[in-house]
C-alpha cells in the first residue's frame, strides 16, 4: 500500500540557513552559481545545494534554468524597498496603537512582533483565494 511521504519540518537551523542564502543573494549584484554562493558565503556546498531549491520553490529566488541564481529583483531595488518599509511601518504603527497588553506579563516587543506575524498570516489567507 502506498504511504504518503511526510514532509520534514523546518528547524531553526534550516530557517537561518535559508535566510543567510537569501540575504547573501540580495546583497549580490550579479546572479551566482551554487558554488559561488557556497564559497562567498562561507557555507558548505551541501547546505547551499539543499536549501537553494527550496528558496526557488518559495519564489524568493530565481533560477535561470542553466546554473545561475539571484533574488527577486525588487528585493534589491531601493525605491521598492523604501515603499515596502513605509507600508510596513504604517502597519506596525496600527498594531502598536491598537494592541492591548491584557493581564499577562508579556514583553511588549514580543507581543508586537507576534501580532505583526499573525496579521501578515491573515493577509496571506486573504490573498490566497485569488491564486
Are 53 and 88 found together in one domain?
no
Average pLDDT, the chain: 86
The whole-angstrom separation of Cα 26 and Cα 31 is: 10
CATH number of the structural domain spanning residue 36: 1.10.10.10
Are 17 and 60 found together in one domain?
yes
C-beta separation of 111 from 95 below 8 A? no
Tell me the pLDDT tens digit for each residue of 2-36.
Answer: 444 455 676 888 889 999 999 999 999 899 999 99
Are 62 and 114 found together in one domain?
no
Q: Which domain holds residue 87?
A: 77-128
Number of domains in the chain: 2
With respect to residue 2, please indicate whether it lies within any of the assigned structural domains. Answer: no
CA angle 82, 25, 48 (to 5 degrees): 145
- Is 0.75 surpassed by the pTM of this model? no
Using only C-alpha atoms, the chain has a radius of gyration, in whole angstroms, of: 19
The whole-angstrom separation of Cα 90 and Cα 41 is: 34
With respect to residue 34, please indicate whether it lies within any of the assigned structural domains. Answer: yes
Amino acid at each position: 500500500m502506498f504511504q504518503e511521504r511526510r514532509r520534514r519540518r523546518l528547524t531553526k537551523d534550516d530557517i537561518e540557513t535559508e535566510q543567510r542564502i537569501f540575504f547573501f543573494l540580495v546583497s549580490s549584484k550579479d546572479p551566482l552559481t551554487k558554488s559561488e554562493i557556497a564559497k562567498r558565503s562561507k557555507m558548505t556546498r551541501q547546505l547551499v545545494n539543499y536549501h537553494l531549491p527550496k528558496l526557488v520553490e518559495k519564489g524568493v529566488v530565481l533560477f535561470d534554468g542553466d546554473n545561475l541564481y539571484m533574488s527577486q529583483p525588487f528585493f534589491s531595488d531601493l525605491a521598492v524597498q523604501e515603499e515596502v518599509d513605509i507600508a510596513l511601518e504604517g502597519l506596525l504603527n496600527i498594531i502598536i496603537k491598537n494592541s492591548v497588553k491584557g493581564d499577562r506579563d508579556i514583553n511588549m516587543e514580543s507581543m508586537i512582533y507576534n501580532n505583526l506575524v499573525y496579521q501578515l498570516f491573515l493577509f496571506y489567507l486573504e490573498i490566497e483565494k485569488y491564486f
